[in-house]
Amino acid sequence: MRWSGLVYGLVCIFVVSIAQAALAQTTAVAPPPPEKGPASDERPVDVAKIPAKKLFGAESRAAKLAPRAIGFYSRGCLSGGEYLPPDGPAWQAMRLSRNRNWAHPDLVDLVKRLATESKAAGEWPGLLVGDLTQPRGGPMTSGHASHQVGLDADVWLTPMPERRFSWEDREKVSAVSMLKNSLDVNPEAFTPGVVAIIKRAASYPEVERIGVNPAIKYGLCKAAGGDTPWLAKIQGWGGHTYHMHIRIKCPPGSNGCRSQGEPTGTSCAVAERWYADTKAWLENPKKAPKGPKTKRKPKPPMTLEDLPDACRDVLAAAPTGGPKLLAETIVPPEQKPSGLVPAVAAAAPIPIGEPAGPGVFAAPHQLQPSAEAALAVPQPKPAEHLRRAQQ
């Protein structure tokens, strides 16, 4: 009996211990899992800090709003932009892969009139049109400080050929420089037709100014025999050796648009002084002083906060509808935005004057970088008034 009682007591103690352990396991509270931060792609993005050129460069269609140029030529955007067709009776748009043949309707109308009227007058066979602006304007991903409000147009000074360019031609064909050297125009390229097309463009009242290389301005003064009313609109700008940069005034109804005003420093006397000063500089260039050079810090990219408030509405607006754009049918598939029609098959070029359909263009599989024809000559630093004029 003594041994059985002892065994019974040990068994009871063992059972109680097991019960207590089980109770502890069931009543214990597990520690809360560590809080996870939002995934990197779920974190809120401060749109105000994104470079504006990325926001506007990503838009493939115009804002479905009333046509309006907003802000200044180098700090603004475009509402209700219109698309210049790649082909017309007297023009062909170039570099279509950039999607920059959009502008304010007034500028699109002017480009069409300049093309058709100069051809009808026998002055110019047709325009090769370079960059206008992006579908919604704004800072560009490359190439331009201005062209932001849909009132700037680059028109090549190379005459349009009799054949219709293919898509690949429009990416690779280079414009021809008008210069023989830093001072003088090349008479083989700078023909009376070039003078006539620039003169006609300057004759339109809505055109505020036209920028060309200072050597071209000097050549125009010599060709015209001195100052004339249309020459007063022509300014000498750095670069611009192969095209003219047409800039029009703020159109009616474009509240918040700021024009540049009447151009100054455009007399032929100024052009002659530029020629003499540049010639002296080239003959006896001043050497930079020795010593450490101070590098200027690059300006931070422009953001939405740097643009007019209305540009936020332009970005947020619905895209324009309507039929598919011709350019959309010729962009290589790997570069096309989603939802667009597939690239069409190649077709033979058609003569100028016949209607152009999507089948006209050949869509290569890869884009080739285009090299604009620029004469490799020293470019003297432009005078202060030339720099201001380009803004």
pLDDT tens, position by position, 261-309: 889 999 999 999 999 999 999 998 877 677 777 778 888 888 999 999 9
Residue 89 tokens, joined: 């009776």
pLDDT tens, position by position, 183-207: 999 999 999 999 999 999 999 999 9
pLDDT tens, position by position, 329-376: 444 434 433 333 222 223 333 344 433 333 333 322 222 223 333 333
Task: Name the H helices within 183-336.
Answer: 192-203, 214-224, 268-283, 310-316
Q: What angle do CA 239, 231, 187 make, to 5 degrees?
A: 60
Domains of the chain plus CATH, in order, are 56-285+302-390 (3.30.1380.10)
Rounded Cα gap, residues 199 and 218, in angstroms = 14
pTM of the model: 0.74
The gap between the terminal CA atoms of the chain, to the nearest Å, is 112
